[in-house]
Amino acid sequence: MSDFPNNLLQNPSGFPEFLPKESIAEQELNDLIRKHFELSGFTQINTPLVERTEVLTAKSEGEINTQMYGLRLMNPSADSPTDAKDLVLRFDHTVPLARYIALRNRELTFPFKRYTIGPVFRGEKPKEGRYRQFNQADIDIIGDSKLDTVNDAECVSIVVNIFKELNIGQFVIRIGNRKLLQSLTRGLGVEEKETKAVLQIIDKAEKVGVDKTIEDLKKIEGIKLDKINDFNSILFEEKEFIELEQNLLSFSNDEKIHQGISEVKSLISGLLSLGVSPTNFKVDLSIARGLDYYTGNVFETMLVEYPELGSIASGGRYDNLAGSFTNKDYPGVGISIGTTRLLTKLIKVGLIKAEKSTTCPVIITTQLPLEEFSSVYLKQAKILREAGIKTEVYLTDRSLIKELEYANKKGFKIAIITGEQELKENMVIVKDLTTGNQEKIDSSEIANKVKQMLSL
C-alpha cells in the first residue's frame, strides 16, 4: 500500500508540466520557432544548464542575484565530486553564450549565428504567469570586432515571421535605441549618474501617465525644465520617423544622436527589404530595457489587442557580449522569446488552441484477441509506418466500441478495423473518424488508401 502524501505528488510550484494537449501545443510552438531560426541560417548550440558560480555572478545584476539556484550534493560519499558548491543553474542563455564565445572563439567562424531553445531557472516567489523553470528561445549574431547594424534587422524580421505564422493577431515590434536615449537625457541636462533614474521614470510612463511622468522628471537634479515637454513629445507622441528625426536633431545635436538615428534607419530599411510590413513595427524611443547591457537598438514586441501580456519577444544590440570574460570585442545582437510564458498566456486568452492529444493520425484497432492475432495488427502498423505514416496500434484487448471511444477522445483521424470476417477475406475497414464514413478495402491497399485520405 502506498501512503505517499498526495500533496507531494504535485510538481513543485513554479516548475510547470503539461498534459498531452498543452504539451503538443508547446512542441508545435517550438518547432515553428526552430524552423524560422534555421531558415535564416542559425545553428543550434546548447550550453549546459549548469555554470560555475563565478561566471554567472560576473554578469548578473539586480534581483537576479537573489534568484540564482546553486547546487549541492544531497548525500555526498567518499566518491562524490567536491565542486557542487561552485555550480549554479543558468538564469538566461546570454551569459553562458558570452562564456562560450570567450572560451571557444578560436574554434568558431564569425559572424557566429546561434540559436537555442531550452530552460532557464529563477528562484522567484511563484506568481500567476511567473515560473522558476521556463523555456527561452534565443537567437544571437556575434561578430568578431565588428557587426553591421543590418544584422539587427535579420533578428527582428525572424521574430515577425514567427508571430505572423503563429497567427495570433496584430502585433507591433517597438524599436528603441539606447544611444538616442542617452543623448536625450544628456540634452535634458541630466548627469551620467542620474540617467538610470530618468530611465526608470520613463519605464513607468505607460502606467502612470504623462502628467505624473513630467512631475517625476522635474524632481531630477539639474534637469532643464524648459526641455521636458520636448523630451516627452519625442518619447511619447506618435509621429513619422522623418518628423521625429528633426525633433531629435534640434533637441540634442551631438555624435550619439547621429549614430542612433543612423542605427534606427539602418534597422528600418533592413526590415523593409526583408519584406516586414510597416504595420508590424514602430519606433518608440520610450523603450529602454536594462541600462547596463544594451548599447544600440532595442526591441520589444506587443500584441496590440493584449497589451496586458507585456513584451512577448525582446532583445537588442550589445557592443561587447563577452566583456567580463575576455579583452577581445564581440559585438552582437540578439532576441529572446519566453516560450513557456508565451504559450500559457496565448492558451489562456484563446489565441493558441490546445486541442490535439496526439500528433498521430492513424490508429489500428484490435478486435481479435491479441494473444493469438497481434501479428495481424503489428504487420499493418509496419506497413503504414514504413510508408511514413504515424500509426498507433491499440495493444490492449478491449471491445471495438471502447477502442473507438479512445480513438475519438485522443483525436485520431483514421481507424483501421480488422475483425474475423475481414481477416478471412484479406480485407480491412478504413474508418474516417471525422465524418464517420467507412470503407472496406483490400488489405494490400491500406497504405495507399490512408495516404490518399490524409492527402499525403
Site for a copy of itself in 41-60 (CB under 8 A): 41, 43-55, 58
117, burial (CB in 10 Å: exposed 0-12, middle 13-18, buried 19+): buried
Q: Which is nearer to a copy of itself, 185 or 297 (CB)?
A: 297
Q: How many of the chain's residues bind a copy of itself (CB under 8 A)?
A: 129
Residues 328-387 that bind a copy of itself (CB under 8 A): 357-360, 363, 370-371, 374-375, 378-379, 381-382, 385-386
Query: By CB under 8 A, is residue 454 in contact with a copy of itself?
Result: no
Out of 33, 93, 100, 316, the only residue in the binding site for a copy of itself (CB under 8 A) is 100
How far is residue 64's CA from residue 132's CA, in Å, rounded to a whole number? 12
Is-contact 377 428, C-beta < 8 A?
no
How far is residue 93's CA from residue 20's CA, in Å, rounded to a whole number? 27
| Min CB(419)–a copy of itself separation in Å | 18
Residues 268-287 that bind a copy of itself (CB under 8 A): 269-270, 272-275
Q: Where are the alpha helices (DSSP H) in 252-312?
A: 255-273
State whether residue 88 is helix, strand or coil: strand
Query: By CB under 8 A, is residue 401 in contact with a copy of itself?
Result: no
Query: By CB under 8 A, is residue 129 in contact with a copy of itself?
Result: no
Amino acid at 413: K
What does the block give as the cell for 175? 524599436
Is-contact 47 100, C-beta < 8 A?
yes
CB atoms within 10 A of CB 325: 18
| Min CB(184)–a copy of itself separation in Å | 25
Q: Would you list the DSSP string of 314-344? A: EEEEES-TTTTT-SS---EEEEEE-HHHHHH
Query: By CB under 8 A, is residue 80 in contact with a copy of itself?
Result: yes
The window from 146-154, 216-224, 281-289, 303-311 that contacts a copy of itself (CB under 8 A) reads: 146-154
The window from 71-79, 167-175, 228-236, 416-424 that contacts a copy of itself (CB under 8 A) reads: 71-79
Q: Which is nearer to a copy of itself, 126 or 307 (CB)?
A: 126
Out of 248, 392, 414, 450, the only residue in the binding site for a copy of itself (CB under 8 A) is 392
Out of 94, 266, 297, 365, the only residue in the binding site for a copy of itself (CB under 8 A) is 266
Of 347, 344, 339, 354, the closest CA to residue 134 belongs to: 339
| Min CB(218)–a copy of itself separation in Å | 31
